[in-house]
Amino acid sequence: MGYSFTSPEVVGALVRAKHRGGDVGVVLDWKVNAGNNNASKAAMKLLVGAGIPVRTVSAYKILHDKVIVVDGRNTQVGSFNFSRAADRSNSENVLVV
């Protein structure tokens, strides 16, 4: 589940996980990803092409959650948007439980 989703590295990791047989699905904020964001649309298209279900949610003003669940055991939560800006220039936090 994420807010901004444009990172090619994250897209690649999710596609590789799917190819290994992982159960991968993505839920994103509609406004920031499906509206006029071409980078995010391209990322979502790659996921769908790899057989990964992608859902955008518009029921809220902002879907600002950032959560990854891995193998039903490990969870990552924090402020980290799945974007290059978050990775390279923002102050972000992530907790893996």
Amino acid present at 5? F
Q: Which of 18, 31, 41, 64 is catalytic?
A: 64
Of 34, 26, 37, 38, the C-alpha closest to 1 is 26
Residue 44: left if φ>0, alpha if ψ -120 to 50, beta else—which one? Answer: alpha
Rounded Cα distance between 91 and 71, Å, is 28
- 71 an active-site residue? yes
CB atoms within 10 A of CB 44: 22
**19 catalytically annotated:** no
Q: Any idea which residues carry the catalytic annotation? A: 64, 66, 71
